[in-house]
Structure 1
Amino acid sequence: MSTRFNMATVNAAAYQAGIGMEKALQNSFLTPIQKELIKIRASQINGCAFCLDMHTKDALKYGETLQRIFLLNAWKDARELYTLEEQVILAIAEEVTLISQKGLSEEVYQKAKQIFNETQIADIIMAAVTINMWNRIAISTHMPIGN
């Protein structure tokens, strides 16, 4: 599959706005590993090879284990590998990624409110929104893995 075009050059202003979203998340409460878990899980759901390649490598650099990466697609069946905070973060990431199915459910939102404050929940939602944007760009433009 050949690259269709480079979004960063064809629509630089919009692409830079996406970079701005990433920069805003640098100041979030989320740890680097938590951010990578969100990125990997959303990318699994969306089937984005480019982002999966990038973010699994990044997660390993931050000290994530191979086992947790391998089992992330089945985290609900491997809950013992993920903290309660990570489980709620992953549930939010999944529901935001699959927004048309039921939105962010009241059940998951209430669980989040027991652990996180509104600013932190907003950070989790924005992290999921941002990777979903990148997934859509990478998939639509056929971004090659490894770049």
Structure 2
Amino acid sequence: MSHRMTFWSAVPAFYQAQLKLTMAAKKGLGDAVLAELVVLRASQLNKCAFCIDMHVTNLREAGVEARRIDLLPAWEEAGDLYSERERAALAFTEAVTVLTEGAVPDAVYERAAAQFDEGELAHLLGVIVAINNWNRVNVTVRQPPGAEL
């Protein structure tokens, strides 16, 4: 597959706005590793090679254990490798990203709301929305892993 367009440089104001959106959402979440796990999981679901490459690299550089990165696609089966807070965030990420049932199920929302206060949950949702935006653009334009934006 070949790279289709240089979207981010073609719309620099959009790129800057997307960066600000992402930084604002992550800042309010507070936990950088949790945010990276969430964006990696959404990127895996969306099959965004560019973002998967970036966020795996970020997690490795942050010193996250390789098993936690490697087993992320199977987090539900990974036992206590992920905290309850992380599992709630990952379930919420999957529900918001995939929208399989056309909505985020109440049980998934309530599980996340039990682990995050309202402000944190709003920022978590913001992180998920932001990465899905990045993913959709990068998958559409076939942004190659490791490329400059």
TM normalised by structure 2 equals 0.92
Please state how far the C-alpha of 1:32 moved relative to its aligned partner: 1.3
Q: Which residue of 1 aligns with 2:144?
A: 144
3-state SS of paired residue (2:29):
coil
Question: Which sits farther off after the overlay, 51-60 or 3-12?
Answer: 3-12
3-state SS of paired residue (1:101):
coil
Q: Is the 8 A contact 2:29 2:124 kept in 1?
A: no
Q: How many residues align?
A: 147
Distance across 2 between alignment mates of 1:88 and 1:30? 16
After superposition, the CA RMSD in angstroms is 1.3
CA 1:129/1:10 → structure 2, altered by over 3 Å: closer, same or farther? same
Structure 1: runs of 5+ lacking an equivalent: none
2:37 is matched by which residue type in structure 1? L
Q: Is the 8 A contact 2:26 2:123 kept in 1?
A: no
Structure 2: runs of 5+ lacking an equivalent: none
Q: Is the 8 A contact 2:34 2:86 kept in 1?
A: yes
Distance across 1 between alignment mates of 2:107 and 2:26? 28
Q: Which residue of 2 aligns with 1:125?
A: 125
Q: Which residue of 2 aligns with 1:76?
A: 76
TM normalised by structure 1 equals 0.93
1:144 is matched by which residue type in structure 2? P
